[in-house]
Structure 1
Amino acid sequence: MIRFQHISLMRGTKTLLENADATLNPGEKIGLIGANGAGKSSLFGMLRGELHADQGEIDFPSRWRLAYVAQETPALDRAAIEYAIDGDVHLRHLQQQLAEAESAPATAANGSLIAELHGALADADAYTVRSRAEQLLTGLGFTLDQMQLPVASFSGGWRMRLNLAQALMCPSDLLLLDEPTNHLDLDAIIWLEDWLKRYAGTLIIISHDRDFLDGVVNVILQIDEQKLKRYSGNYSAFERQRAAQLTLAQSMLEKQTRQRAHLQSFIDRFKAKATKARQAQSRIKALAKMEELAPLRAAAEFSFEFRDPVSAPNPLMVLDDVDAGYRIEDSKGTIGKKIVSGINFSLQSGQRIGLLGVNGAGKSTFIKTIAGDLPPLSGKLHTGKGLVIGYFAQHQVEMLWHDESPLWHLVKIAPDTREQELRNFLGSFNFPGNMVTSPIAPFSGGEKARLALALIVWQRPNLLLLDEPTNHLDLETREALTMALAQFEGTLVLVSHDRHLLRATTDQFMIVADGKLQPFDGDLDDYRDWLFKTKLVAKSLNAEPSPPAVSERRNAPADTPVADNSNRREQKRFEAQDRQRISALKKPVETRIKRLEEQLAKRNARKDELDAQLAAPEIYDAANKETLKTLLTEQAYCAKEIEQLEHEWLEQQEALEKIS
């Protein structure tokens, strides 16, 4: 277990922790929360041994293997999949030892060492490591081709995914994840959530994604008032417990205030009277002994609201057979690269749309097209008179002028407005005093994102296009954005990996997949099920998943009452279509199961042959050293391959049951 005992920690002149205690048990999945700057990352630094407490100690078993996500990624020429495998440091060390032993002159001792290393590599799952790395990288959004590209060819966000893959590849007893969802999209987050649920060690996560915390953790550790406070359950359970504690504390404070007022009143009235002097003195002592409860801190929760739009054209926008994509210059001139094609879409006033789709499907391309950042490659885009778009791009924070102040940014879009009015407006977004005129370069990511939101709110849009607006926001600001969007009177199109935000602010979903935009008939739980099912089936088909058609979801049950023969015939037609669909989904899985059973039979037969050869005493003679090494290697490889085939066979059987 992990014990924090009387921990005190200062960073500069700021006290982060003072005499803090907490105990975390093996196998628990802990969400570490607290205000920005409370000391969450510093606590991780202490667990990694990079920081040392000013007082107290942190105790956990020295034999525990620790894994965490590196914050820097060197621009290496090494292939992405090899970089991910490097996370298993023990395996790489064994491989290096084996390479050195095999290149050394042949001796009896060296032969024994090589045999031992092959056994150690088998125990370290060396023969399945590449397959495991491919599964990890696929879950995090990489294609097989991308896995062979050098690390240096990826952007910063994708390099962070590679660092996350390294941490997950490392066999560990304690896994530390600091904002692991920041650079992931929704499908990668859903995959990571499922992976972490199956993680067997102790897990500590810093995250501002409440749905992610709810899905993974069973303990919340809060840094509050320089103490560590432990709560059982997920984040929603923590909120309920915290609210109950605050209510109780407020009630106790009010009760004590009444008691003190009553005692003071008695003392004031009777301390000068001889007959009541003793009773008055008794109450003075009681008042002095009464431990004064600390008043609740004044609520400093951030909140804002969108101003009512000036007008509301209907429809706001119509896309007529639009192809969305990019124009690329090459030696032959300008060519168009289509990402989403054949878009026929009418955006009506008051719609609240959540946009779904796997990474790279074209969600951002579609948003940029309707925002006007990308002209359509073909087709027509018609906008309503009076349309005002508020667009928060995925990299909006990087697009701000970092050498300029919040006031400068606002003056740029409102040059005719009085400065005091602009200052008051920025103050409502928590930019007080000198902060209004200070360059934003040293601001935190959350403060810059808050400024970008303020600039959008000022423009009073009737159409909000938000592409991952929560990337830099803490829990408090995310909740403020959720509340503001829920009350927004205009039209909303939202791309976000924050499921709580999507659930609370949108009422319909559309999906971008296979180069098409179409309605998604379901909720986020349906999307999660579809994502896992179609990815699994697509793996068998070696093809990309296609989105479900509207008619494939929520079919009426077979015993639905029917009014007449035409309804009965229609019902039978739907049932036949459903059987055909299920049969089409089952066929590739059944084919794969049959092939796996054939491979298992062959590998088991070969392993029996190897076991028989290794049971013969003469194989261990010095003259047969090379043969023994070959047989041991093949035996280990065969055993691991059988284990992998059996695991995949079980997965395919489960997939077949789900389809049925």
Structure 2
Amino acid sequence: MIRLTRLTLIRGSKPLLEAADLTLNPGEKVGLIGANGAGKSSLFALLRNELHADAGEVDFPAAWRIAHVAQETPALERSALDYAIDGDTTLRRLEAELAEAEAAHDGLRSGALHAALQDADAYTARARAEQLLTGLGFSNAQMAQPVAGFSGGWRMRLNLAQALMCPSDLLLLDEPTNHLDLDAILWLEDWLKRYPGTLIVISHDRDFLDGVVNVVAHIDAGKLKRYTGNYSSFERQRAANLALSQAAYGKQQRERAHLQSFIDRFKAKATKAKQAQSRMKMLAKMEELAPIHAAAPFSFEFGEPERAPNPLLVLEAVRAGYGDKTVLAGIDLTLQASQRIGLLGVNGAGKSTLIKTLVGDLAPLAGKLVTGKGLAIGYFAQHQLEMLRPDESPLWHLARLAPTAREQDLRNFLGGFNFPGDMASAAIAPFSGGEKARLALALIVWQRPNLLLLDEPTNHLDLETREALTVALAQFEGTLILVSHDRHLLRATTDEFMIVADCGLQAFDGDLDDYRDWLFRTKLGQAKPARAETAAPAAAPDRKEQKRQEAEQRQRLSAQRKPIETRIRRLEEQMARLNGRKAEVEAILSDGDIYAEARKEELKQLMFEQAALARDLEQLENEWMEQQEALEAIGQPS
């Protein structure tokens, strides 16, 4: 059992946790969530004994073996397979001791060590490591390659393999899906479900959390709160708790105001002094509830694209690759306006190669690519973050795209992507990966593309920004091709899937569950209950028709919602403007100078304006409520 009692954790001058309590039971699979900077990684460091609590206690069995993913990978000449086996430190220690005993011709010690190695499953270690690396996307050839030959993302996969190889009672995983493709995530999810120890995982992938965890620990306002269930269950429970807390806060504020009013009116009257004193004591004893400061939902939207050609582009017998290396061959694709395609395929199959060919970064090695007149592509890929100028600001990057735009318009736009004030004009060098990804998305949105090509857009994005991107893409009126390991994003924004496999591209007549089954049967070598009888996933005969109907329904709902949402935004802008002016008027009226005889006419005008503002605000608020009810009646696009 892990028990945190009155735990206080401070980094620098910032308190992350203050008198926080949490209990986790052995074998539970826990999702640790909270805003960026809330203290999730620091709590991991505390559990690994790399940090010490500033107050309170952290208690769990001293004999527990803890495994975690190393953040650094030395450039070793050691093979990937041997590096993965190194994760089992007990096995490596016993092997070293055996080598010493045999060198010393100590037969008794050697016999004992052979027995210990058998107990440590030493003789299955190689097969277990190969299975881990296969699941994480390594080919047999790659397993023999030196660690130094792998890129940063692949080295992180090797570190993950080491952590999974290590026999452990507590497994700590910090964003384990960040460097994985969908196929590796599905495999990891399956592996973690069968992990017998206690798991604590930090992740921004809601489908992954839903599939793995049965407890959520939420860091909020310096406290830890435990929720039973997966991430979706947590969202429902937290929403209900927030509503109850807000209602309790509102009720208490009314009670406090009532008590204070009585005290103010009667504390000077002898006949009421006793009652006033009594109410003062009640007010002092009343534990003041904190107002609810739920984080404002981050949102943005793609502007309506310029008119698009149809078809947008055509590939005819295209062969794609790099130099002399062919990755894809015989590719035929006609991309029609308003298509929404999710691109599937195991790691290395060629999804990114296809996207780069479509965008023009790679010229076809053979065949023909024809683009329609007026095609405007918005392209997102991880390497584009490296093309951002670290010494320049978000404002500078946007001004390059819009040299004639007013600076205030650019600042307003960037503010909508959470780059307010000084942040908009600060150099992006210290920005996090998530902030840089958000800037890259902002630059795409500004250009109003009619075709979006997105290659893993959610890497480094937090849950709130992922959800905002999901909503924006669901309402995007252009054409979309999406590569993503985020299943929630794929389900919510695409209408059809295509699969890149065996050097080709073809329609995938199934959903993500079908893809999972196909993956485990054909690529990962683990038998899974099949949902279809054929070797490749086959959909029910009416699946395409069902998807078409779902897409039409989603488009109908979006069309119905859009004018209402636009009106709500306009109302909110008007209310903000009137509230601003109302505050100015009330500030002037609270100044005693306004009541001077010489300003009598000005006072009269201000009082008239105050009444008019209150009346107009009431009308706007009533209409805002009506529009919200109308929006709720329509429902969300599924």
What secondary structure is seen at the aligned counterpart in 2 of 1:157? Answer: helix
Q: Is the 8 A contact 2:2 2:25 kept in 1?
A: yes
Distance across 2 between alignment mates of 1:53 and 1:359: 41
Where does residue 45 of structure 2 map in the other structure? 45
C-alpha distance after superposition, 1:324-379 (max 9, x if no partner)? 2122xxxxxxx3x2211111111111111110000000000011111111111111
Where does residue 472 of structure 2 map in the other structure? 484
> Which of 540, 545, 551 is equivalent to 1:554?
540
> Which of 130, 133, 140 is equivalent to 1:134?
130
Distance across 2 between alignment mates of 1:39 and 1:347: 45
Distance across 2 between alignment mates of 1:243 and 1:230: 14
For 1:118-267, list aligned pairs within 5 A: 118-267=114-263
Where does residue 100 of structure 1 map in the other structure? 100
What secondary structure is seen at the aligned counterpart in 2 of 1:300? Answer: coil
Distance across 2 between alignment mates of 1:62 and 1:156: 34
Where does residue 63 of structure 2 map in the other structure? 63
Distance across 2 between alignment mates of 1:497 and 1:215: 14
Where does residue 575 of structure 2 map in the other structure? none
C-alpha distance after superposition, 1:457-484 (max 9, x if no partner)? 1100111110000111011111111111
Where does residue 284 of structure 2 map in the other structure? 288
After superposition, the Cα gap between the structure-2 partners of 1:363 and 1:193, relative to the gap in structure 1 and judged at 3 Å, is same
How much has 1:538 moved relative to structure 2?
Answer: 9.4
C-alpha distance after superposition, 1:112-142 (max 9, x if no partner)? 1111111111111111111111000000000
1:156 maps to amino acid: G
What secondary structure is seen at the aligned counterpart in 1 of 2:383? Answer: coil
Where does residue 419 of structure 1 map in the other structure? 407
Distance across 1 between alignment mates of 2:110 and 2:524: 39
> Which of 428, 437, 443 is equivalent to 1:449?
437
Where does residue 500 of structure 2 map in the other structure? 512
Where does residue 408 of structure 1 map in the other structure? 396
C-alpha distance after superposition, 1:488-540 (max 9, x if no partner)? 1111110000111111111111100001111111111111111112236699x
> Which of 479, 501, 505 is equivalent to 2:489?
501
How much has 1:37 moved relative to structure 2?
Answer: 0.6
Q: Is the 8 A contact 1:405 1:440 kept in 2?
A: yes
Distance across 1 between alignment mates of 2:120 and 2:383: 41
How much has 1:410 moved relative to structure 2?
Answer: 0.9
What secondary structure is seen at the aligned counterpart in 2 of 1:22? Answer: strand
Where does residue 359 of structure 1 map in the other structure? 347
314-323 or 181-190: which moved more? 314-323
How much has 1:321 moved relative to structure 2?
Answer: 1.6
1:16 maps to amino acid: L
> Which of 375, 382, 385 is equivalent to 2:363?
375
How much has 1:287 moved relative to structure 2?
Answer: 3.2
How much has 1:46 moved relative to structure 2?
Answer: 0.8
377-386 or 31-40: which moved more? 377-386
1:11 maps to amino acid: R
Where does residue 384 of structure 1 map in the other structure? 372
Distance across 1 between alignment mates of 2:433 and 2:254: 45
> Which of 325, 328, 337 is equivalent to 1:349?
337
Where does residue 326 of structure 2 map in the other structure? 338
Matched, 1:17 2:17: yes
TM-score (norm 2): 0.81
2:366 maps to amino acid: S
Matched, 1:462 2:458: no
Distance across 1 between alignment mates of 2:59 and 2:66: 14
2:258 maps to amino acid: H
How much has 1:548 moved relative to structure 2?
Answer: 6.5
What secondary structure is seen at the aligned counterpart in 2 of 1:396? Answer: helix
How much has 1:262 moved relative to structure 2?
Answer: 3.4
After superposition, the Cα gap between the structure-2 partners of 1:27 and 1:317, relative to the gap in structure 1 and judged at 3 Å, is same
After superposition, the Cα gap between the structure-2 partners of 1:514 and 1:478, relative to the gap in structure 1 and judged at 3 Å, is same
Where does residue 527 of structure 1 map in the other structure? 515
For these two proteins, the number of residue pairs brought into alignment is 538
How much has 1:394 moved relative to structure 2?
Answer: 3.0
Where does residue 632 of structure 2 map in the other structure? none
1:477 maps to amino acid: T
After superposition, the Cα gap between the structure-2 partners of 1:6 and 1:537, relative to the gap in structure 1 and judged at 3 Å, is closer
Q: Which runs of 5+ in 2 are unaligned?
A: 528-533, 544-638
For 1:564-575, list aligned pairs within 5 A: none
Q: Is the 8 A contact 1:520 1:548 kept in 2?
A: no
After superposition, the Cα gap between the structure-2 partners of 1:549 and 1:384, relative to the gap in structure 1 and judged at 3 Å, is farther
Distance across 2 between alignment mates of 1:259 and 1:286: 10
Distance across 1 between alignment mates of 2:256 and 2:101: 80
After superposition, the Cα gap between the structure-2 partners of 1:549 and 1:94, relative to the gap in structure 1 and judged at 3 Å, is closer
204-213 or 94-103: which moved more? 94-103
How much has 1:283 moved relative to structure 2?
Answer: 3.4
How much has 1:29 moved relative to structure 2?
Answer: 0.7
What secondary structure is seen at the aligned counterpart in 2 of 1:518? Answer: strand
Where does residue 75 of structure 2 map in the other structure? 75
Distance across 1 between alignment mates of 2:285 and 2:118: 69
How much has 1:229 moved relative to structure 2?
Answer: 1.0
Give percent identity, aligned residues only.
75
Distance across 1 between alignment mates of 2:468 and 2:108: 65
After superposition, the Cα gap between the structure-2 partners of 1:308 and 1:403, relative to the gap in structure 1 and judged at 3 Å, is same
1:118 maps to amino acid: H
How much has 1:556 moved relative to structure 2?
Answer: 8.8
2:452 maps to amino acid: L
How much has 1:214 moved relative to structure 2?
Answer: 0.6
Q: Is the 8 A contact 2:518 2:536 kept in 1?
A: no
Distance across 1 between alignment mates of 2:157 and 2:389: 27
1:180 maps to amino acid: P
